[in-house]
Amino acid sequence: MSADQVEAPPFPQRRTCPYQPPDSYREIAERGPLNEVTLWNGRRVWLFTGYAESREILSDPRLSSDRSFDAYPTMAPHLGAEEARKLVLVGEDPPSHDLHRRLLNPEFGLKHARALRPRIESDINGLIDAIEKKGPPSDLVPDFAVPIPGLAMSALLGIPYEDHDFFQEATAGVMQARDEDQTNAAGKALFGYLDKLVTAQEKNPGDELLGRLARRVLDGEVGHEELVQLSMVLLIAGLETTSSMIPLSLVALFDHPDQLEALREGRVTIQSAVEELLRITAVTDFGGVRWVTEDIDIAGRRLKAGDGIVISSTMANRDPAVHDDPYTFDLARGSRQHLTFGFGIHQCLGQSLARTQLEVAFETLLRRLPQLRPAVPTTELKMRQSGTMQGLVTLPVTW
């Protein structure tokens, strides 16, 4: 290995364990909270692995999320596609970002998540009814994890769930593609679908989120294409993260039977368990990607204008300065000091809804199927080999 490779090792790298980072990440973090790494295209960027340093930099106004600039770090070949670069909200800076957040924040608060909870509970019980009716074994990826956010986002946005095969395939195509052409094709198909839905809502607004926002279009507060783009971002973010998180979390629980038993017996609350699962099983190894607009001094380093930075949520969540024995999976820890939902102005809009889905999913599944266990050794499970989202191809279980 060359000196350059030691100094700036490749990032990201594939996990060998579904819920723990590669050993090489730990080696990088042990050198300090801020180090250089090399991306797939040879570009060197700054990787933040310290919790405090990550929060500090994510709060700095001298950063940009604008993907239209070459300075923005592209984390995988397919993310250089036009359809990935032009995403609003996640890929924009103030003032346009502030306008869109103000538009959406009231729709994603705890109040709205609680209002959706009965619907989520009903939908998840329906999925388990179908699993029980079919009988073991069951693959919890297509039978459980994938439908849950699809059902929730359909209820929230007002998108017909009967179209779920299309929109779930399209969102996966944007995030898990192997090249730019696949991302562009999936993105354009999804945009076209949502364009028709938004147009229909503008003609006859419904009571769900798309209908409420369509009224804003009619009032001139937001443009038609803006609303289509916002809908696209909400759908992609809402589906991909939760559907990947559920199987990874279940594997972590299966691999720690003492922790699983504590949750089943009520010795650990579901809220505490979900926070530890969020900390330990992040579905992506980077929780923030930005570029520097002005020189910044931080953690003994000078970041130059034009430099790229990447926040490793995986490693910031394991900072020993914040968590004792940070690689140990402990449901009773229950700490919200993690960066799984990011930090700063781009902190995840849907975190209350995500927590609600995870709480209901794990509590209901373990209560209704108390003998649930993997049908194959977890060491034989295959990780998804495309895109930058960590996930399982299948999760066969029995009971």
Q: What is the CATH number of the domain that holds 154?
A: 1.10.630.10
- Rounded CA-CA distance 290/64 in Å is 5
What's the pLDDT at 385? 65
- Rounded CA-CA distance 115/319 in Å is 35
Instruction: Report pLDDT digits (tens) over 184-206.
Output: 999 999 999 999 999 999 999 99
- Rounded CA-CA distance 277/32 in Å is 25
Nearest to 183 by CA among 192, 194, 170: 170
As a whole number, mean pLDDT of residues 123-140 equals 97
What's the pLDDT at 380? 94
Q: Which of the four pLDDT bands, split at 50, 70 and 90, describes residue 4? A: low
- In this structure, the chain runs to a length of 399
Instruction: Report pLDDT digits (tens) over 233-246.
Output: 999 989 989 999 99
**Strands of 147-186, DSSP E:** none
Handedness of CA 268, 271, 276, 282 (dihedral sign): positive
When divided into structural domains, the chain yields a total of 1
Residue 388 has pLDDT above 80, yes or no: no
As a whole number, mean pLDDT of residues 270-295 equals 95
What's the pLDDT at 6? 64
Residue 63: φ, ψ to 5°: -115, 155
Residues 6+ away with beta carbon under 8 Å from 219: none
Q: Which of the four pLDDT bands, split at 50, 70 and 90, describes residue 85? A: confident
Q: Which residue segment(s) compose the domain that 347 sits in?
A: 3-398
- Rounded CA-CA distance 99/399 in Å is 49
β-strand partners of 292: 63
Contact of 391 with 247, CB cutoff 8 Å: yes
Quickly list DSSP for 106-131.
Answer: GGGSHHHHHHHHHHHHHHHHHHHHHH
Q: Which of the four pLDDT bands, split at 50, 70 and 90, describes residue 5? A: low
Residue 337 has pLDDT above 90, yes or no: yes
> What's this model's pTM, rounded to 2 decimal places?
0.94
Instruction: Report pLDDT digits (tens) over 132-151.
Output: 999 999 999 999 999 999 99
SS3 13: coil
β-strand partners of 139: 396
